């Protein structure tokens, strides 16, 4: 692996840094899961990004992107986190559904859905999990009955991130009577259309980051099905690969957190257990190792490879790294960690609580270890 940046890549980094320094809001936005106002403020930030063609830099220009490669996307992400820019409210769209649409969608579907996704005009929720089907996604019971040029959707989805305020959702449905991995399709539906009921789920911090969705004879055009009928499981596994192995958790997220942890240690090491220094160093090493691995993955994809079951090793690594990093921060802060930080300072406690969900969402780590055992190591079930 060549670990040096080309002159063109360095120039691109300078361009990104200059633009972000001129446009990132000076004061933090209210969190997009806190209120409708916070959500809409982040939607407006997405429009600001699009004004500079930064909505999703890897997408072709005709779909709202810049036509850049994955290495340039990683550079953009590094500068984005360095600048302290707002969180991406449309991450379900641009990081998960978008790449999947690029691979499986028709030209007409890409033209219809990608540009408003890149601009933030349409914000997406993920509607896969159900009360009895989470990490075991093949257990979904929501149905899609074909009637002419439409599907009639029925069922109950839960833990749908961004669904409290989003415009659209991409859901996994099955043909009535089908079982497990057969007869499933990925279908888009609007969250404000007739027959859709969404109930926000309030988290421990008061935010409504999730919602449950009830679908009662919801009619959508067949145009909203991604890929072939019955291809849903295969398509969702491709989306999960992007989620676990590349797009959802940018290395820059953890590199910036590790740098903040190092600064916290430097400011407080005189009153802390000296043994914690080893954990601070470990957090830095983990973040750098993860970044190098993602650069390697991006290089492989640019050379024509596909994301495979090795994405499960990535998912386990970043989720457990995140917990360790934030446990170390709380250990440094001691009882002070329970106090609300001043506005604009790192929210270590909130981030720690969120990190605890990492081994669960995007497929629980127990399931990921099964995938590694069966599909990578060839062990018997």
SS3 category, 83: coil
The count of other CB atoms within 10 Å of the CB of residue 161 is 22
Which residues touch 72 (CB under 8 Å, ≥6 apart)?
A: 9, 12, 57, 58
Active site residue: 108, 243, 256, 347, which one? 243
Pairing relation of β-strands 143-147 and 150-161? antiparallel
The count of other CB atoms within 10 Å of the CB of residue 85 is 18
What are the angstrom distances between the C-alpha of 261 and each of 233, 265, 268, 269?
A: 40, 6, 11, 11
368's tokens: 């990921």
Is 229 known to be catalytic? no
358's tokens: 């990492």
CA atoms within 13 A on the CB side of 342: 1
Closest CA to 310 of 372, 366, 239: 372
What are the angstrom distances between the C-alpha of 25 and each of 12, 55, 82?
A: 22, 16, 14
14's tokens: 């300078």
What phi, psi does 185 have (nearest 5°)? Answer: -140, 150
DSSP assignment of 168-203: EEEEEEE-TT--TTSSEEEEEEETTSTTEEEEEE--
Q: Annotated active-site positions, please?
A: 243
């Amino acid at each position: 692996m060549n670990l040096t940046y080309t002159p063109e890549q360095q120039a691109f980094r300078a361009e990104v840094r200059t633009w972000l320094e001129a446009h990132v809001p000076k004061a933090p936005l209210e969190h997009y899961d806190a209120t409708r106002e916070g959500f809409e403020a982040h939607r407006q930030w997405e429009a600001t990004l699009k004004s500079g063609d930064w909505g999703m830099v890897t997408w072709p220009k005709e779909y709202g992107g810049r036509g850049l490669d994955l290495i340039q996307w990683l550079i953009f992400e590094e500068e984005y986190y360095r600048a302290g820019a707002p969180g991406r409210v449309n991450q379900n769209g641009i990081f998960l559904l978008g790449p999947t649409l690029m691979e499986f969608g028709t030209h007409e579907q890409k033209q219809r859905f990608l540009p408003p996704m890149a601009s933030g005009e349409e914000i997406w929720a993920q509607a896969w999990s159900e009360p009895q089907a989470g990490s075991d996604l093949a257990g979904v019971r929501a149905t899609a009955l074909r009637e002419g040029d439409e599907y009639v959707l029925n069922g109950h989805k839960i833990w749908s991130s961004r669904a409290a305020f989003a415009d659209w959702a991409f859901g996994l449905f099955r043909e009535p009577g089908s079982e497990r991995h057969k007869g499933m399709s990925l279908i888009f539906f609007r969250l404000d259309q007739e027959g859709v009921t969404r109930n926000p789920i309030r988290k421990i911090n008061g935010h409504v980051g999730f919602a449950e969705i009830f679908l009662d004879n919801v009619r959508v055009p067949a145009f909203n099905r991604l890929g072939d009928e019955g291809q849903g499981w295969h398509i969702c596994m491709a989306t999960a690969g992007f989620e676990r192995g590349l797009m959802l958790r940018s290395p820059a997220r953890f590199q910036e957190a590790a740098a903040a942890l190092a600064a916290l240690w430097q400011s407080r090491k005189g009153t802390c257990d000296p043994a914690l220094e080893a954990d601070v160093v470990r957090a830095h090493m983990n973040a750098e190792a993860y970044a190098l691995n993602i650069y390697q993955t991006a290089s492989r994809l640019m050379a024509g490879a596909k994301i495979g079951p090795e994405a499960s090793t990535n998912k386990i690594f970043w989720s457990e790294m995140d917990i360790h990093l934030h446990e170390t921060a709380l250990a440094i802060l001691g009882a002070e960690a329970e106090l609300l930080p001043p506005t604009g300072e790192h929210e270590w406690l909130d981030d720690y609580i969120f990190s605890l969900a990492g081994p669960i969402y995007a497929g629980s780590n127990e399931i990921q270890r099964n995938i590694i055992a069966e599909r990578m190591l060839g062990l018997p079930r």
